[in-house]
Amino acid sequence: MTTTAKWYDRRDSVFIEFCVADSKDVKVNFDKTKFGFSCLGGTDNVKHENEIDLFEAIDQNESKHKRTDRSVLCCLRKAEPGKAWPRLTKEKAKLTWLSVDFNNWKDWEDDSDDDHRVIFDFSLLSVL
């Protein structure tokens, strides 16, 4: 079963939040041009899996993820910082399980130090 997810773009990274409550056995695979996510979720331990051919390359060694009780947040570090991603995937196809996180989306023209604070705060989180 694919997991519903929200994503947003920042200058140095792309963030994806997978909405899975009570996730267990979280596995995140950061590859240069692909991204994989799987876990068991909920009280009935349903298996969730997503695989994405990414719009651009990422730095898999600098990418991270953090599990909470309600979701798994992934930070994909761009291989080319400063290059906007108009979409998350290589293909232009609309994925029913993926949406834009408008609460966290920011136009780069309005870019400020807040952008760096988000990335810095994320890096302080313990990585599983």
Tens-digit pLDDT profile for residues 25-74: 999 999 999 999 999 998 889 999 999 999 999 999 999 999 999 999 99
Taking a C-beta distance cutoff of 8 angstroms, is the pair 107, 13 a contact?
A: no
Specify which residues 50 forms β-bridges with. Answer: 37
Residue 80 has pLDDT above 90, yes or no: yes
CA-to-CA distance for 18 and 40, rounded, in angstroms? 12
- CA dist., res. 66 & res. 103, Å (int): 19
Per-residue pLDDT, 125: 52
R_g over Cα of the chain: 14
**What is residue 19's predicted lDDT score, i.e. its pLDDT?**
94
The yes/no answer on whether domain 5-125 falls in CATH 2.60.40.1120 is no
Task: Report, as an integer, the average pLDDT of 102-125.
Answer: 58
Q: Residue 112 — very low, low, confident or very high, per pLDDT cuts 50/70/90? A: low
User: Which residue, among 75, 84, 83, has the nearest Cα to 16 in the 3D structure?
Assistant: 75
Cα 125 from Cα 113, distance rounded (Å): 19
Q: Which two tokens stand for residue 119?
A: 């990335």
Q: How many CB atoms lie within 10 A of CB 36?
A: 13
Is the pLDDT at 115 greater than 60? The verdict is no
Better-predicted residue by pLDDT, 125 or 62: 62
pLDDT for residue 119:
47
Residue 123 structure tokens? 């890096």
Residue (of 39, 29, 27, 35) closest to 1 by Cα position = 39
